[in-house]
Every structure is written in C-alpha cells, then in structure tokens.
Structure 1
C-alpha cells in the first residue's frame, strides 16, 4: 500500500500543474488511506506538500507571464491571517470527540474528512458542468469581493488542509477576468502562500516526520513539472471534465467509507 502511495504522490503534482488546484484532493486521501496517517496530521502534511509543490510549479508559469501578482496578492494577503488563525487556534480547539450520545459518536476525523468530501463534490459539479473554455479579458479586480473571497478560502484551506485551487480559479476568472491559463498560474501562487502560511500554524502543534514529508513533496514536485509540460498538449476543457468526475467519485467514496464502512469513526 505504501509503494502505491508513493507512486500516486507524483499525481499530486501532475494535477496541480494541469489544473492549478486539486493537489489536496489527492494528497489527503493518499496520506490517510495509504500511509495510515491521522486525518488532522494529514491535513497539516498536505499543506506543506501542496504549498511547496505549488510554489515550484508557479515559477515556470511566472516566466511564461501566466501569473498575475496583483490578483494573487489581492486574494492571498487577506487569507493569510484567516488560515493561520484557523490552523493555530481553531483546529487544536476542536475536541477529538465532538458529540456523543447513546451509540452515536461524532469525531474530529469524520468532521474534517466529511467536510473535505463535500467540498470535493461541490467543486466537481462546476467542473463537470463546464461546456467550453472562455477567454476572459483581464479587468480591474472587484476589491471588496476579492478580499471576502480570499478570507473565506483561507478559512476553508485552514479547516480541511486543502489548497483551495478549485475555489480560487473560478473566483479569479469571475472577479478579475483573468484568462483560464493565467488563473491557473495565479492559483498556484495563491495556493503556495495559503498552504505554507497554514502549515506555519501547525509546526508548533504537531511532531513532523520530515524525511517522509520531504520525500512525498519531492515526488509531487516532480509531478508538477510534468503537469506544466502536459498543459501545452492537453485540452483544458476535456481535462477539467474528466477530473471533475474523478473528484466526484473520490468524494463519494470517502463519504461512503467514513459512514457505511467505518461507523465507529463517526
């Protein structure tokens, strides 16, 4: 199982490179189910893996003029305090057993994984529904909405350990009018800021297995370099639709596993 987990780690980066998001959709299930890591610690590991990988992937896209620093900072800065506070104070404050009465027990593990799965399903629907790729014209950002969106994305990133790419990209296109490929590059820049900021809130709360964490990150980083190259030959619309179905199925499987097949973990 661990060997399969290491192989799948490469796809964390490939997905990030191709879509500008989705790394955590693979990293958290890989860490939890293939390496048997606790869901809360897995969300912390995911932030580091996705953050470093996104930063590495953003560099070549910046050189190709596919990163809008202005739009990235507009989303990234408001989310920094939100995500750091969430990881530093909110996550540790959630008890391992949240609700318990009779035979029903709601645990922190189930809450985080279920919320993560629901976000996956919601994100997948928008990708599946996309019928064509539009070329938007970059416009002045809607500053207030961008700040609100950035803060919300930071909170969700901190809560479930996800980079938030599938929330960031639609927001970038809608609020700033960035073309899709530029939104992908900018999303990697924002994800790197968000994820690494969130990880800083975890460094003081958990003992990190650095050799393991760095090995997974190295594999994911290799994957994002592959993904960056594949963007030049693969249709973004077809890829988003196919990955949308993949995300939908994984989200459903996580919910089924945590409810039907592991009722004691609720």
Structure 2
C-alpha cells in the first residue's frame, strides 16, 4: 500500500505543478513499479488523476481563475468520447496500445521542452479572446468549435490511454486563447476532473478497476496535488517543464524497449 501511495504522490505533485502531464506518468509507474499491464493500469491512472484534478480545480474555482463555461463545454464533449476510448482499449492489442501511449509521451516531452515557461504577450488573433472588462471569453462560433474539438480529443485519449487529457488541453488553450497560464492550468484541471469521472465509471462497470491498488494510489495523488500547488509558486517554471519532459522521454523509451523485447 505504501508503494501505491508514494507513486500517487509523485503523480499529484506533477499535476499540481504543471496542470497537465501527471497522467502520462501514471501508467508507466503502474507498469514498471507495480507490475500491471496497460489495460489494468489505465483506469487506475484515470481515477487517480481525476481525483487529484478535482482537488486542483476546486482551488482554482476558489481563486476565480477557472473559465467554467469553457471547461463545461470541453467536459461535455470529452465525457461522450471517454467511454468509447475505454471500449476500444479493451479491444486493441496490448503492445499496440503501449506503442501509441509511448508516442503520445514523446510528443508531450517535446511540447514540454518547446512550450514557453511563462505567459508571452502576443498580438496575433486567437479564436477565444478575453473581454478585458469582464475577464471572460468573447464567445463566437469559432471559439466554441475550437473548445469543443479540444475536449473531444482529450476525452477519447483519456478513456483509451488512462490519461487525464491535460497534455491536449493545456497546449490547446495556450494556442487558441489569450488566457494567462494559471487560468489555463486551472481550467484544464476542471475538465480533467469531469472527463475522468466518465472514464472511471465505464471501467468500473466492466469490472476493470483493481480497487486495492486504485484507492491508495488515488489518495496519494490527491495529497500530492496540494504539495504541487504549494510548490508551483516557488520553483522555476522553465526548469520544471524541462525536467518533466526529460522524465516523460525516458519513460516513453523504456515502454518502447519493453514492447520490443
């Protein structure tokens, strides 16, 4: 039990620091340390990341930095696709699923190295612009379509791979909106919490959740989220991103090597 709690702490800290990325580390940790196969690890990872994300989202709502309408739209689209991802995960060969997961991790690692560590002012037009008077989005059909598409992709990958989807949501909100980074991270966490709930329920109904591992792992992740949020204001953002990218790249390489052997 202590191992599962400790691993959950790691995931929660990463999620709290970055607003994304904790999910892609969850499954490799459960595979290499606990000894699970990917289809067993995915719903446990989804549950842990979802509960930790709820913790962070509540903190963000308290601070007034969650764009809740955008989060609700992304979550509604994601919730529809997460069960389909869970269904597909049970019908795809384990090695194929592992390769897909590793490729996603490598993409996440690349994004971590390339993404600016702090908010960068820009004059380019974005689909979702904030109203400076209200601090809320100016909703247009283009903005709504962009937000919905991001939530749809995040939800499908959430169910398929057992990840929260923050690695899709954070880059999408960074590219297609002018939200500050703190608000992007908090909004992403709100979506992750809502979408993960759908995926976990689907997995639980099919009997694919090992509760003896899932519960302590999730408890550790929730505790880690508080620690990560507390540390996020004290650590260098660029260093955090690059360290996370390095860990993700190493984990992806190890997963590919495991499949090859």
8 Å CA contact 1:41, 1:206 repeated in 2: no
Aligned partner of 1:122 among 74, 91, 107: 107
8 Å CA contact 1:24, 1:163 repeated in 2: yes
8 Å CA contact 1:5, 1:34 repeated in 2: no
- The residue correspondences of 1:65-214 to structure 2 (distance < 5 A) are 65-87=64-86, 89-92=87-90, 94=91, 108-135=93-120, 138=130, 139-140=137-138, 142-214=143-215
Q: Provide the rounded CA distance (Å) in 1 between the counterparts of 2:2 and 2:151.
A: 37
> By how many angstroms is 1:192 displaced?
0.6
Give per-residue Cα distances to partners, 1:42-88, cap 9 Å, x unaligned.
1011111111111012111221122111121121111111112322x
Q: TM-score, normalised by structure 1?
A: 0.85
Q: TM-score, normalised by structure 2?
A: 0.87
Q: Provide the rounded CA distance (Å) in 2 between the counterparts of 1:60 and 1:18.
A: 13
Residue 61 of structure 2 aligns with which residue? Answer: 62
Deviates more, 1:26-35 or 1:159-168: 26-35
Give per-residue Cα distances to partners, 1:179-217, cap 9 Å, x unaligned.
111111111111111111111111121253324311111
Q: Provide the rounded CA distance (Å) in 2 between the counterparts of 1:14 and 1:145.
A: 29
> By how many angstroms is 1:167 displaced?
1.0
Q: Provide the rounded CA distance (Å) in 2 between the counterparts of 1:121 and 1:247.
A: 7
Residue 14 of structure 1 aligns with which residue? Answer: 13
Q: Which has the higher contact order (CA 8 A, sep 6+)?
A: 2
Residue 49 of structure 2 aligns with which residue? Answer: 50
Structure 1 gap segments, 5+ residues each: 96-107
> By how many angstroms is 1:234 displaced?
1.5
Number of equivalent positions: 245
Q: Provide the rounded CA distance (Å) in 2 between the counterparts of 1:30 and 1:126.
A: 21
Q: Provide the rounded CA distance (Å) in 1 between the counterparts of 2:81 and 2:175.
A: 22
> By how many angstroms is 1:8 displaced?
2.7
Structure 2 gap segments, 5+ residues each: 122-128, 131-136
Q: Secondary structure at the match of 1:114?
A: helix
8 Å CA contact 2:43, 2:209 repeated in 1: no
Deviates more, 1:126-135 or 1:168-177: 126-135
8 Å CA contact 1:5, 1:30 repeated in 2: no
Q: Provide the rounded CA distance (Å) in 1 between the counterparts of 2:116 and 2:145.
A: 29
